[in-house]
Amino acid sequence: MKTGTYYLVRKAGSGDDMGFSPHLAERRFGYGRSPSIAPPENIAGMLGRLRGKDLMAERFPVPGFRQLQDGHVVKARFDAFARKKATTPEQAAEAREKSDEIEQRFRHQQLETFAQQQLRRIHSKDNFRERLVDFWSDHFTAQGKSGLLKLAIPAYVEEAVRPHVSGRFVDMLSACITHPVMLEYLDQSTSVGPNSKRGRRKGNRRGLNENLARELLELHTLGVGAAYSQTDVRQMAELLTGLTRTRDYSFVFRKGWAEPGAETVLGKTYSDQPGMQPIRNALSDLAMHPSTARHLAGKLAVHFISDTPTERTIGRLTRTYLDSDGDLMAVYEALLNDPAAWDSPPTNIRPPLEYMSTALRALAVPPDRFAALTPKETLRWFLRPLKIMGQDWDRVSGPDGWPETDAAWVTPQGVAARLDWAMNVPARLLDDLPDPQQMLQDIVGPDATDALKFAASAAETQAVGVGLILISPALQRR
């Protein structure tokens, strides 16, 4: 990769920030440049915006989980009526139609949510926040498994992840682990202590489910390589019993499901009083475990710097995390002040959704254009291409989230789909495409190679010129 260009730009940055470059700040920590938004001037500015209000969440709101719960309840009533209570086939058909309408309405709302997500990324001056939301929602991957809850990822992210990205890790951990979407996704909602009141009930068929406990240790906190045993998983699973949901997917702690007795996880014993307190204590301890610090530090470094970060960077972030009591702002500050953040070549490939956002930001697609999209257009121009690129929107394939390695995304199918998209969709989306030469200046700036300059000027049409800029490594990698 060509990296020399950054050294030139860096000199223009603030003197206090060793190596900082406004251009690279947008490229590496955001969704790339916008023609209409000035990049951050320095690291303090980036952190200041992140500490400030979440302006994009206010400007482009996303419906909360409660709406889906309500929809689910009403839809379930119509379904049950159609199945059991309808006295005539016409009545049943009418009830089913109403149930379908509800589902349809939520599906459309889901597509609007996609637009809101993109608009936040296109119009934000605080794109580091948007990237962090993306990072942490992948870390805490959860999705509904059936019915309307399949549409619950945006609501889950909005409520459990987003408010905590600039706070303390333990708060995000706690919000995610107790959210009904997570409880459902990792089967916690059916986990019953074998010796609990519910477990000892006659004819009981339910037992302990280790799924959430295992992923909590393996994915969310300690990391798969850390020193924990099957006994720790089992004890954690027993400790978590009681965390479940009501019929309409509200969080509830059921004492009668909680395994009696104290549990010992990683050598520490938690109170035998059934309730939230022992669980909260365990989550706090897990959050501040040195393995967790290292796991999170490594993931952040891989995500924002390179697939193979140095030990120095990981060590620095780990120490900051532990010294600051898991304060994420302190960790981000250390990340942005790490020389590797500005020295490393931009080799990380953007995953498909991020790539698309980068392109849309470069095109500065206005809010009213998104508002005018039909559901069919949203599917055809965005969600279907994303699927071909390998990232089916809000259908992540496992609890470990989307792959982080570049090799997972640089596939023939993925690259072909990006090329197809970049050549065809922008022209359908915008009446006036930007002039490729102007775009080279505004968006690619110091990253424009001779080959790209030549190609953009040799393109047969403006759409092809724009498409070539959009598929350049300068926009695909960060």
Please measure the distance between the N-terminal and C-terminal CA atoms of the chain and give it in whole angstroms.
11
Give the H/E segment covering residue 138: helix 127-139
Supply 44's token pair. 């303090």
- Residue closer to other proteins (CB basis): 202 or 205: 205
Q: Would you say 168 or 477 has its CB closer to other proteins? A: 477
**What is the H or E stretch that residue 45 is in?**
helix 43-51
Largest CA distance in the chain: 78
Q: Which is nearer to other proteins, 39 or 390 (CB)?
A: 390
Minimum gap (Å) between residue 77 Cβ and other proteins: 15
Nearer to other proteins, 61 or 398 (CB): 398
DSSP string computed for 185-196: HTTGGG---TTS
Residue with tokens 């508002």: 371
- Looking at the Cβ atoms of 214 and 289, the one nearer to other proteins is 214
Is the Cβ of residue 129 or residue 220 nearer to other proteins in the bound state? 220
Collapsing DSSP states into helix, strand and coil, what is residue 327? Answer: strand
Nearest-angstrom CA–CA distance, 307 and 406:
8
Q: Give the shortest CB-79-to-other proteins separation in angstroms.
A: 9
Rounded to a whole number of angstroms, the minimum distance from the CB of residue 412 to other proteins is 4
Work out the number of other CB atoms within 10 angstroms of the CB of residue 113: 22
Q: How far is the CB of 103 from other proteins (least distance, A)?
A: 12
Can you spell out the DSSP letters for 246-270?
Answer: -TTS-EEE-GGGSPPS-EEETTEEE
- CB 366 to other proteins: min, Å: 27
Minimum Å gap between C-beta 41 and other proteins is 29
Return the bridge partners of 269, or none.
264
d(CA 199, CA 207): 7
Nearest CB to other proteins, comparing residues 19 and 346: 346
Beta bridge partners of 243: 253
DSSP bridge partners of 349 = 477
Q: Which is nearer to other proteins, 280 or 384 (CB)?
A: 384
Report the nearest approach of other proteins to the CB of residue 474 (Å). 9
β-strands 268-270, 243-245: how paired? Answer: unpaired
CA distance linking residue 241 with residue 251, whole number of Å: 13
Contacts with 81 (C-beta within 8 Å, 6 or more apart), sequence order? 91, 92, 95
CB of 344 to other proteins, least distance (A): 16
Which residues of the shown chain bind other proteins in the complex (CB under 8 A)?
1-2, 82-84, 86, 92, 96, 145-146, 186-187, 190, 205, 209-211, 214-215, 218, 224, 349, 384, 387-388, 390, 392, 395, 397-398, 400, 406-407, 410-417, 419-420, 423-424, 449, 451-452, 454-455, 458-460, 464, 467-468, 471-473, 476-477
